[in-house]
Structure 1
Amino acid sequence: MNQSSTNLSATSPLLDSPVWAALTTGNAALAEGNSLAMRYPPEVAPFAAVAGETPASFEALASLTSAGERVALVGLGVLDPPAGFRIERQASIVQMILETPATAEPAGPEPVVLGSADVADMIDLTGRTRPGPFGPRTIEFGRYIGIRADGALAAMAGERMRFDRFVEISAVCVDPGHRGKGYAALLMMRLIRQMQGRALTPILHVFEDNVNAISLYERLGFRWRKTMQLTVLARY
């Protein structure tokens, strides 16, 4: 199942450190930290990154976190527990990339743009479907769209990390009562077409064992670029 793209975009070294790349460029307005360690505010996302796996970098990261707080790092290798932290979770994730033109959108309801008035519904939906972390300020990452059915938010997807010409699709989720209707594919294809219209390359990250999601993304044209490691650190 593991596939590697040979397109030059997929060889960009920025993709190997997506959180650091985003915090230092496209998402810099949301970043906290310095040249050794950076993070998003916890209300935005739990992700953090270090300039290098050195004692000085992890000391800088520790200064950005409080006792008991958790941060998530994404990298190529398995991380050893740094001083001041314990490892709460490690998991393999797949980074996927789309470098072919978007196909036609599937038929379905017209997506709506989600805004601050929709955040409570977005937190409720992501809390029930668990596509990944979504907090009260996650919407500040960028554009989120959704499908409402009888007034309730039935599905959503949006943009998260961005750097160079890459934009990450995230928070793809569908209420269990509305699965099988093609809503996830519809929302993703709408986002993909908009991104490609701005000369941007869509990427995404998915747990390696989420075979159903990976299958959907492959049907939409995404290719498996690289297996990476998600490490959740808890400060003590």
Structure 2
Amino acid sequence: MLSNWFGDTARQIAARRVRTINAKASENFQEKGLQTLYLAWEMATWNNPNSEATLAAPVLLRRVALKPKNSIEDDFEVEQAEEWKINPSLLHMLKTEYKIDTASIDLLNVNEDNSDSIDSNPLFEGLSKACVEIAGFAIKPRIVIGNFSYAKLPMVLDLESSLDALVASDLISSLAGDSNSLESLRGRHPKVTLPDPDRQPPQDEFLVLDADASQSYVINAVVGGAD
């Protein structure tokens, strides 16, 4: 609990920050379905090659929940959920941006007798050695509770693993400017006219909200089999 970590004055300041963090986490879950509230252990920092700013990312993450102890929310209990995991966005960045193979690093050495007990030294030492060529790379001791989101990472990984399918797609090739693929799309485009919505019963429309003529044209084309 915060009361175990801070005195009265410091706890009031910490409680305000925790309320803000918790509110953002609730918003992310309710509006986006994302679990973003994590306890971060150690921060990796390195120089930004494109600016003077120092980049930073948590090394280890563990999902937590913040439970207020009373109605005025001036004290919180931190409940830990799931197990520690290395930040997947950090690993992906090291692999794609710096060509660093993290597979050989002892990522987590969990004590089998106690899942909360982790020997983190092999991880931090191995990561530091693997990243020795990255300018300014360092692992700094920090423990932080905050909102960390990597919601786009699954999409990125999916795109990376689907390169052949993307190349074979006439639609994707057309968007990239390939004239042959564009002609192929046009050749199989269904016959759709702008007045079609005027002759279509409302109960047969595939609309969630009102659509203008151009939007209706696109929807009818897709329903008719267009890419």
- Tell me whether the two structures share a fold, i.e. TM-score over 0.5: no
The normalised TM-score by structure 2 is: 0.22
Structure (1/2) with the larger strand percentage:
1
Structure (1/2) with the larger helix percentage:
2
| Larger RCO (CA under 8 A, 6+ residues apart) | 1
* Higher CA-based Rg: 2
